[in-house]
C-alpha cells in the first residue's frame, strides 16, 4: 500500500514538473550576477528607449519612436523571470509582448525589435537583465469587484 502511494505521488510529481524538465526547459539556466547600474548604461548605449519607455530613465540622444512605445519595468502582476527577459532580448519573436495591438509590434510573427545578438556582450546582457528585473514592481493582481444586483 505504501508502495503504491509512493509511486502515485512520484507519477503526479512527474506530470506536474514534466514540462519543466524537458530538453527545451529553462530549468538549470543561470546568468552570472549582473550590475544594475552598468545595465542602465547598456540600455542607453543600445538606445533601447527609441522604442521603449522606462519610468525614471530619460531617453538621451534618441530618436523617439512614439509608434513603438513598449513599456518596460513598472508595476506588473506577474514577475518576469530572467529567462523571459533574456529571451525577449535575444529572441524577441519567441513571445510577443501583451497588451498592444499585435500589428504595431510584429510583422508576420516577427518582432519589430532590433537584434543585438552580434554586438552585445554576455556581460552587457547580464547587467541589462539585472537592471531590467529591478525595474519591475510586483503588485497583487487586482481582484474583480463583484456587485450585487437585485433580482425582481
Q: How far is the CB of 42 from ligand HEC (least distance, A)?
A: 7
Judged by CB under 6 A, the residue of 31, 41, 96, 136 near ligand HEC is 96
CA 139 to CA 141: how far, in whole Å?
A: 6
Handedness of CA 130, 113, 60, 125 (dihedral sign): positive
Q: Does 54 bind ligand HEC (CB under 6 A)?
A: no
Return the residue matching grid coordinates 535575444.
90
Neighbours of 147 (CB within 10 A): 5
Cell numbers describing residue 105? 509590434
Q: How far is the CB of 88 from ligand HEC (least distance, A)?
A: 4
Q: For binding to ligand HEC (CB under 6 A), which residues are involved?
A: 43, 46, 48, 50-52, 68, 70, 72, 85, 88-89, 92, 96-97, 105-106, 111-114, 116, 128
Amino acid at each position: 500500500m505504501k508502495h503504491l502511494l509512493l509511486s502515485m505521488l512520484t507519477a503526479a510529481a512527474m506530470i506536474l514538473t514534466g514540462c519543466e524538465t524537458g530538453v527545451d526547459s529553462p530549468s538549470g539556466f543561470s546568468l552570472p550576477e549582473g550590475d544594475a547600474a552598468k545595465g542602465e548604461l547598456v540600455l542607453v548605449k543600445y538606445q533601447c528607449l527609441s522604442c521603449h519607455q522606462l519610468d525614471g530613465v530619460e531617453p538621451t540622444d534618441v530618436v523617439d519612436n512614439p509608434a513603438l512605445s513598449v513599456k518596460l519595468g513598472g508595476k506588473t502582476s506577474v514577475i518576469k523571470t530572467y529567462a523571459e527577459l533574456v529571451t525577449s532580448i535575444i529572441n524577441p519573436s519567441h513571445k510577443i509582448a501583451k497588451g498592444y495591438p499585435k500589428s504595431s509590434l510584429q510583422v508576420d510573427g516577427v518582432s519589430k525589435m532590433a537584434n543585438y545578438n552580434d554586438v552585445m556582450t554576455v556581460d552587457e546582457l547580464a547587467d541589462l537583465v539585472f537592471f531590467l528585473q529591478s525595474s519591475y514592481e510586483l503588485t497583487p493582481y487586482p481582484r474583480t469587484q463583484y456587485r450585487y444586483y437585485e433580482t425582481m
